[in-house]
Amino acid sequence: MRICLVSHGFPPLERTGVENYTAALAAELAARGHTVEVFAPRVRAELPQLSLRREERDGYGVNWITTNVPPRDPEEALEVPGVAGRFGDFLDRERPQVVHFQHLVKLGIGLVDQARRRDIATVYTAHDYYAVCHRYTLLRPDLSRCEIVGDSMLCARCDLALGHLNGKEGLGDYQMGVLPEQLDEGEGDALRELLDEGEPEALGHSLDELDAVFDRRQELDGRRAQAYGALDRILAPTRFLASQLVRGGIDPDKVQVLPYGIDTSHVAGVPPVAPRADAPLRFGFLSGLSKHKGVHVLIEAFRRLREPAELAIWGYSSDEPYVERMRAAAAEAGAVWRGGFDRDELAGCLAETDVVVVPSIWVENQPIVIREAFAAGRPVIAPRLGALPESVNDGVDGLLYEPDDADALAAALARCVREEGLVAKLAAGIQPVHEVAGQCDELEPVYAEVGAERRLPRDDGLPASVRAFAERYDELRTLPTRTLYERALQGLEKLRAGFGGEPGGTSVEDLLRRALKSGSRVQTRLRDQRREADWMKETLDFEQQEVTWMRTVVADHEAAIRALEEERDWLRSVVQGKEQEVAWLSSELDKVRGEVLRAAGVGEQVGMHLKNTAELGLAALQAQEHVLGEEVRPLLEILERVTRENGETPPDAPRRRASDDPALLESLVQDVREGARRLMELENELAWRRSEMQGALVQSNRRLAKIFLARTGLGSRINRWRIEDARRAGEASE
Amino acid sequence: MTRPVSIVLPALGDTELFEANLPSLLEDLERRALGDEVIVVDDTGEDVLAAWLAERFPAVRTVAHEVNRGFALALRSGVEAARHDLVFSMNTDVRVRAGFLDPLVACLDDGDVFAVAPRVLLNGDPEKIESVTSLRVRDGLAELHQAALGSEPGRSALEPSPIAFAVGGTCLFRRDEFLACGGFDPMYAPFYWEDIDLCWAAWRAGKRTLYQPASVVEHHHRGTIGKLIGDDVVRAAIEKNRLLFQWKHLDGDERLAEHAAALYRLTLDAWLGDQRDELVWLNLALEQADEALKARASLPEAKAGFDEILRRSSPGKP
């Protein structure tokens, strides 16, 4: 039978449970005469994304697909872009009769559809809960166990919680979940409230946000359910896992419980557990150091253990914060930290261990390490959790304890130390491990059955002559391309012979030479591709030149911008200077104004004073004149009378009045004239000063207007430069 | 001078086609009043047509196969049962137009003419004539050409001319000649290329196949078989038979060497280019290679070689 095994990893690159199981299956099936092809992803930086490379192993082929580009979002993780199409090419080439999927993570659910489209039967072994839980483990981000399977709203709450944890530093592998001590005070409660159908606000998220996450999760869950629903058979190694799959919506008619059969050759030869005189009992942890494996529970239990015992911890994880925490806790508890181990070293690890502890906190399926421990005759202590009770028979081949309970585990450890003969009794209770050969005995009928279900007969309504041809056509289409090719070459050779040397006795070599000379499609395609590659290279070169040119342009622009900025700064300083100048001029103007005003005031005051003085003078003169007139009049009258009496002509009355004191009068007149002249001078000075002031004002206003214009011009230039800067910056970034 | 004709229709159980197409045929034959006959070969293997036809078209004779044997053998059974010297074979999805027989019969007055095909209008479209056929060889592989099917019919579609073969076996031929050469070769089961093979064998024997546009029939193609078994299976049958035809008829060292080289090229191309379908077609043909070589060996001596037939059978050639 032609069988394809699909796994998310494969030895030697990946060597954990599922990968080793798949490799053992491939080797055993191939040894039984089946044609086995393995399809698995790997990261190879030197190969193009999605390239396919085949390598021969012990009787089977491994087809590696290069997946260098990690998924960018949950959608891409669910359906890894391009992988399904390449799987389709692989299926066409190999045409397996059955595809046995071990895991679809890293490859995507689209692979199932590719097999279906080709009417190839499909079997899937559920090694975890991925078919119904996008987190594989049914563990929530706070490391509590999900009790309700397949509820998209609860799954959305997990998504939202993970989104929250994603924003925090130093959590390590937060995807698996976080320990309470890794969270801030109150944060753990808020996380649990969100997961327990509470309000998302406690963690700073809105209901709208939760609704959006729910819509997305529902869509993704729908697609996953559709893919898993299209499988022909789903194998579950344990009854518990099978029940969870059915709870999650998988068709129970498709689910079949089939416990693992594993290759135990690598742990053969481990000496049986034997009492060591005066030496403490040795407990061992041999697993991945991811949080769900629960080593923290074991370390805590060992810390509480009062009985003399040893604990060795073997394992590796990339979750460094957790590992560091555990390493420190182990040291404090007195456990020995042994670090990572290779599968080939497992026998040695088990030889140093009397009892294997599997302290998982998730609902384990059927850990291979338990099978391996049993194969080496080591009893196992495990929690009463998930499918573990299906693997460990309490008191017969191991002990079970209440999950998550360090005290309960410590008690189980203590029993092993205290109860004499208990470990030996448990070791004696171990049943032979189901081997890979037995597994293949079970799988072969499954493959045959699903294969037969897929080979549906042609419609009975077809005329016999047509049906016979159609059925033969169908049969040939199920053959691998390689087989079709080889058969065609054989058939052509026979045909050539059948022509009885008619084609001029031409040899195959000649025919091939001739065939390829006249132009094969593949040759043409290769030439076209080479031409296209050349063209693309030219385009790339040209674009690189463009980029170089653009860089110089950008550099030029940047220099221009810098120059403009310098000019702008200079202009700013000029404007600042001008503004200072304007301010100075304004203050100067104010001063001038003040002076002018003061001068005008003084002038006016002086003028007024002079005028007043002059007027007062005039008034005084008039008053004096009047007084003199009054005084002179009687004297004149006397004089007239005297004159008359003396026969003399009396002088003119005014002459007499003016000549009363001609010198004084003359002096007064001079004074008045002087006052008037002075007044005139002062008025002239005032007028001059006014005109000066006017002139200064006009000049100041003109300068102000000029400064204003200069400022406006500079402002608009600066704006223009800014706009230009922005435009150039935009061009440069494009 | 016109003569009576036996019309043979190999048939499966599609009575709708009879209802659509038999009335025009019977009407035309009645108009001729020459004692023409219609023979339906029931190839359903269930003998379901005789009673149905007797009730609706009592003038039609029925020959039934006990088991389904395919188009080639059904036609042969019908021809064997024919009472007249001239036989017109047609599919049940062909609808004749009035007066279609006389121009065809006239062509067979020429003893060198093996078969004569009417103007076959695809779905009744006057612009799509199926029966102007020729064969070409490109890069060592033969391919069909229907000059008047895709574009506006040229001059060759309006005048009688030689053609490579009568498409779909819709043609008039002489009963004795047909039976003497064995009729359609069952190697081509389930269908396609048997009509080309028959006419090519006649060309090889120095006879001709003609196209007579004065006779008009309509081919109301429904793709029934494609719907039943899938177009991919129909294509596989065509491609398989295309190869078998060449293995039976190609001659000359150069032609054979060119073809053999083309087969290797096709194989390599298909393998390197992941063209699975082509490898399936080739394998289907290769599984019948012995039959083709046997048929090749039993061909009578050729009066015209492959290349000569290519030239002579091209439409428009005198």
Indicate whether A218 pLDDT > 60: yes
Would you tell me the crossing angle of helices A320-333 and A295-304 to the nearest 10 degrees?
Answer: 10
Which chain A residues are within 8 Å of B43, Cβ to Cβ?
463
Q: What is the mean pLDDT of residues A427-449?
A: 96
pLDDT at B248: 96
Q: Please give the mean pLDDT across all residues of chain B.
A: 91
A179 pLDDT band, cuts 50/70/90, is confident
Number of H helices, E strands in chain B: 12, 11
Q: What is the mean pLDDT of residues A704-723?
A: 77
Report the chain B residue with the minimal C-alpha distance to residue A475. Answer: B280
Q: How far apart are CA B287 and CA B264, in angstroms?
A: 16
pLDDT at A653: 46
Q: Which of A171-180, A579-588, B119-128, B233-242 bottoms out in mean pLDDT, i.e. has the lowest?
A: A579-588
pLDDT at A200: 84
B151 pLDDT band, cuts 50/70/90, is low
Would you tell me the crossing angle of helices A508-517 and A481-498 to the nearest 10 degrees?
Answer: 110
Residue from the list A466, A494, A520 with its beta carbon closest to the beta carbon of B229? A466
pLDDT at A723: 82
pLDDT at A378: 97
A503 pLDDT band, cuts 50/70/90, is low
pLDDT at A308: 94
Tell me how crowded residue A594 is: count the other CB atoms within 10 A of its CB.
Answer: 10
Q: What is the mean pLDDT of residues A87-99?
A: 93
A9 pLDDT band, cuts 50/70/90, is very high
Q: What is the mean pLDDT of residues A234-248?
A: 96
Residue from the list A477, A491, A492 with its beta carbon closest to the beta carbon of B280? A477
DSSP bridge partners of B217: B96, B120
Which chain B residues are within 8 Å of A498, Cβ to Cβ?
289-290, 293
Q: How far apart are CA A698 and CA A710, in angstroms?
A: 18
Q: What is the mean pLDDT of residues A448-461?
A: 78
Which helix or strand (DSSP H or E) is residue A611 part of? helix A521-646
Under 8 Å CB pairs connecting chains A and B tally to 153
CA distance B59 to chain A (A): 27
The reply to whether residue A492 touches residue B287, judged by beta carbons under 8 angstroms, is no
Which chain B residues are within 8 Å of A462, Cβ to Cβ?
228-229
pLDDT at A606: 63
Indicate whether B230 pLDDT > 90: no
Tell me how crowded residue B230 is: count the other CB atoms within 10 A of its CB.
Answer: 15
A131 pLDDT band, cuts 50/70/90, is very high
Q: Which of A5-14, A240-249, A693-702 bottoms out in mean pLDDT, i.e. has the lowest?
A: A693-702
Q: Which of A56-70, A171-185, A458-472, A671-685 bottoms out in mean pLDDT, i.e. has the lowest?
A: A671-685
Residue from the list A89, A498, A522 with its beta carbon closest to the beta carbon of B268? A522
- Give chain A's radius of gyration (CA, Å): 54
CA distance B102 to chain A (A): 35
Indicate whether A656 pLDDT > 50: no
Domain at A557-630+657-733: CATH architecture: Orthogonal Bundle (1.10)
The reply to whether residue B282 touches residue A525, judged by beta carbons under 8 angstroms, is no
Query: What's the token pair of residue A36?
Result: 């086995």
Indicate whether A670 pLDDT > 80: no
The reply to whether residue B229 touches residue A470, judged by beta carbons under 8 angstroms, is yes
Residue of B137, B231, B233 to mutate for A, most A C-beta atoms under 10 A: B233
Q: How far apart are CA B56 and CA B67, in angstroms?
A: 24
Long-range (24+ apart) CB contacts under 8 A made by A47-56 are: A49/A82, A50/A82, A50/A83, A50/A86, A52/A86, A52/A89, A52/A90
DSSP B169: G
Which chain A residues are within 8 Å of B260, Cβ to Cβ?
492, 495-496, 499, 503, 506, 511
Q: How far apart are CA A693 and CA A700, in angstroms?
A: 10
Cβ(A27)–Cβ(A52) below 8 Å? no
Tell which wins on pLDDT, A629 or A247: A247
Tell which wins on pLDDT, B9 or A183: B9
pLDDT at A633: 64
Report the chain B residue with the minimal C-alpha distance to residue A509. Answer: B261
The residue type at B201: A
Q: What is the mean pLDDT of residues B209-226?
A: 87
Indicate whether A414 pLDDT > 90: yes
Q: What is the mean pLDDT of residues B127-150?
A: 89
Q: What is the mean pLDDT of residues B118-143?
A: 92
Given CB atoms, is A488 within the 8 Å cutoff of chain B?
yes
DSSP A458: P
DSSP bridge partners of A512: none
**Highest mean pLDDT range out of A400-414, A670-684, B56-70, B126-140?**
A400-414
Indicate whether B146 pLDDT > 60: yes
DSSP A99-121: EEES--TTT-THHHHHHHHTT-E
Which chain A residues are within 8 Å of B268, Cβ to Cβ?
512, 515-516, 520, 522
> Where do the DSSP E strands lie in A530-678?
none
Q: Please give the mean pLDDT across all residues of chain A.
A: 87
* CATH 1.10.10.10 is the classification of domain A1-125+231-262+435-454: no
CA distance B34 to chain A (A): 35
Residue from the list B189, B262, B271 with its beta carbon closest to the beta carbon of A485? B271
pLDDT at A80: 93
% of chain B exceeding 70 in pLDDT? 96
Indicate whether A730 pLDDT > 90: no
Q: How do beta strands A98-101 and B208-219 pair?
A: unpaired
Given CB atoms, is A487 within the 8 Å cutoff of chain B?
yes
**Alpha-carbon dihedral A674, A680, A685, A690, rounded to 10 degrees:** 160
Q: How far apart are CA B57 and CA B65, in angstroms?
A: 20
Give tens-digit pLDDT for A301-352.
999 999 999 999 999 988 999 999 999 999 999 999 999 988 889 999 999 9
Indicate whether A486 pLDDT > 70: yes
ipTM: 0.92
Given CB atoms, is A117 within the 8 Å cutoff of chain B?
no
Domains of chain B: 5-222 (3.90.550.10), 227-300 (no CATH)
% of chain A exceeding 70 in pLDDT? 89
% of chain A exceeding 90 in pLDDT? 51
pLDDT at A582: 80
Give tens-digit pLDDT for A355-391.
999 999 999 999 999 999 999 999 999 999 999 999 9
The domain A265-433: what is its CATH number?
A: 3.40.50.2000
Q: What is the mean pLDDT of residues B100-111?
A: 94
pLDDT at A96: 93
The residue type at A506: T
Please report, for chain A, the start and end positions of each structural domain, with discontinuous segments joined by +.
1-125+231-262+435-454, 137-221, 265-433, 557-630+657-733
Q: What is the mean pLDDT of residues B73-78?
A: 93
Q: In whole angstroms, what separates CA A531 from the centre of its chain?
A: 38
Q: Do domains A1-125+231-262+435-454 and A557-630+657-733 have the same CATH topology?
A: no
pLDDT at A301: 97
Q: What is the mean pLDDT of residues A632-651?
A: 59
Cβ(A372)–Cβ(A264) below 8 Å? yes
Q: How far apart are CA A400 and CA A411, in angstroms?
A: 11
pLDDT at A592: 76
Q: What is the mean pLDDT of residues A598-606?
A: 69
Cβ(A300)–Cβ(A155) below 8 Å? no
pLDDT at A654: 47
A636 pLDDT band, cuts 50/70/90, is low
A12 cis-preceded (ω within 30 degrees of 0): yes
pLDDT at A658: 47
Give tens-digit pLDDT for B264-288.
999 999 998 888 999 999 999 999 9
The reply to whether residue B190 touches residue A520, judged by beta carbons under 8 angstroms, is no
Q: How far apart are CA A572 and CA A366, in angstroms?
A: 78
Q: Cα-flanking dihedrals φ and ψ of residue B216, to 5°?
A: -125, 130
pLDDT at A681: 79
Q: How far apart are CA A595 and CA A67, in angstroms?
A: 90
- Determine the straight-line distance between the first and last CA of chain A, rounded to whole angstroms: 58
Tell which wins on pLDDT, A117 or A518: A117
Nearest Cα to Cα of residue A679 among A601, A599, A610: A610
Which chain A residues are within 8 Å of B284, Cβ to Cβ?
472-473, 476
A412 pLDDT band, cuts 50/70/90, is very high
Tell me how crowded residue A560 is: count the other CB atoms within 10 A of its CB.
Answer: 14
Q: How far apart are CA A361 and CA A403, in angstroms?
A: 7
Tell which wins on pLDDT, A631 or A44: A44
Query: What's the token pair of residue B110?
Result: 């020429």
Given CB atoms, is A616 within the 8 Å cutoff of chain B?
no
pLDDT at A607: 58
pLDDT at A614: 56
CA distance A463 to chain B (A): 6
pLDDT at A595: 77
The reply to whether residue A511 touches residue B261, judged by beta carbons under 8 angstroms, is yes
Q: Which of residues 520-579 of A touch B (CB under 8 A)?
A: 520-522, 525
Q: How far apart are CA A650 and CA A673, in angstroms?
A: 32
pLDDT at A270: 94
